[in-house]
């Protein structure tokens, strides 16, 4: 799996962030939707999704879904389970990298931190699916080439960029504002992982320039297919 070429002459799908910059109407609509959830509601949702055992957090954490239609909830559940599947694979990948012993010192600690954060994403997404009344996706079995530190670092860079693009690609399709906020909170961490790995492998930290390029579901699933057992 390799990163797509950065060809500025090729047509590019406009992402939600770029649309918000260029289109004032879209920006106002987005801000109105995001603001309607309220900061407290979003914070409680994220705490609950991450599996807080606090009684007060769980009591206040139920997302306001009464205004959502059944179809929008179904769509959001599908997106959450799609993201969960990707996070399962990332978590397994980092677990195998850590077990390989290829990295030590500061880089080894960084890889462990990334793996731990991906595991937290898994738990958060499972919690979000359950709060919407769905059943979390089954964990797939992965297969990853773990041959050398250089090869693994390059693969990690590709995987993290793909993950960030996957979240960005689904952002326009998410109906529930709280789900959108949670997805974007994960998206930015995936992007920061990718940027950090970019410095490690001497690749661009912003491979698509000023605006990140979204990836649709079919593109992402085709890219991860070789890593499914």
pLDDT at 229: 87
- Where are the domains positioned within the chain? 16-227
Alpha-carbon radius of gyration of the chain: 18
How do the pLDDT tens digits run along the chain, 229 residues long?
A: 444 444 444 444 444 444 444 454 544 444 444 344 333 333 333 333 333 333 333 333 334 444 444 555 679 999 999 999 999 999 999 999 999 999 999 999 999 999 999 999 999 999 999 999 999 999 999 999 999 999 999 999 999 999 999 999 999 999 999 999 999 999 999 999 999 999 999 999 999 999 999 999 999 999 999 999 8
- Residue 12, CB half-sphere, CA atoms under 13 Å: how many? 19
Residue of 16, 8, 6, 3 whose CA lies nearest to 169: 16
**The pLDDT of residue 73:** 62
- Please give the pLDDT value at position 61: 35
CATH number among 1.10.260.40, 1.10.1200.10, 3.40.50.720, 1.20.1260.10, domain 16-227: 1.20.1260.10
Query: What pLDDT score was predicted for residue 75?
Result: 93
Measured CA to CA in angstroms, residue 219 lies from 13, 60, 89 at distances of 13, 38, 16
- Cβ-Cβ contacts under 8 Å for 184 (sequence gap 6 or more): 167, 171
């Amino acid at each position: 799996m390799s990163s797509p070429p950065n060809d500025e002459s090729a047509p590019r799908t406009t992402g939600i962030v770029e649309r918000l910059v260029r289109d004032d109407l879209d920006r106002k609509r987005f801000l109105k939707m995001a603001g309607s959830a309220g900061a407290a509601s979003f914070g409680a949702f994220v705490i609950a999704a991450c599996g807080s055992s606090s009684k007060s957090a769980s009591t206040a954490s139920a997302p306001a879904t009464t205004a959502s239609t059944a179809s929008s909830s179904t769509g959001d559940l599908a997106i959450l389970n799609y993201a969960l599947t990707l996070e399962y694979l990332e978590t397994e990948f980092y677990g195998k990298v850590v077990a390989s012993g290829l990295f030590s010192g500061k880089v080894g600690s960084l890889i462990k931190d990334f793996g731990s954060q991906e595991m937290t994403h898994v738990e958060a997404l499972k919690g979000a699916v359950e709060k919407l009344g769905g059943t979390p996706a089954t964990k797939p079995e992965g297969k990853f080439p773990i041959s050398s530190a250089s090869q693994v670092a390059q693969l990690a860079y590709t995987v993290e960029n793909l993950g960030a693009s996957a979240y960005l690609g689904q952002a326009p399709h998410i109906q529930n504002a709280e789900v959108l906020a949670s997805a974007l909170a994960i998206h930015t961490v995936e992007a920061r992982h990718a940027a950090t790995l970019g410095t490690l492998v001497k690749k661009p930290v912003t491979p698509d320039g000023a605006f990140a390029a979204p990836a649709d579901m079919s593109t992402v699933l085709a890219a991860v297919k070789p890593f499914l057992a």
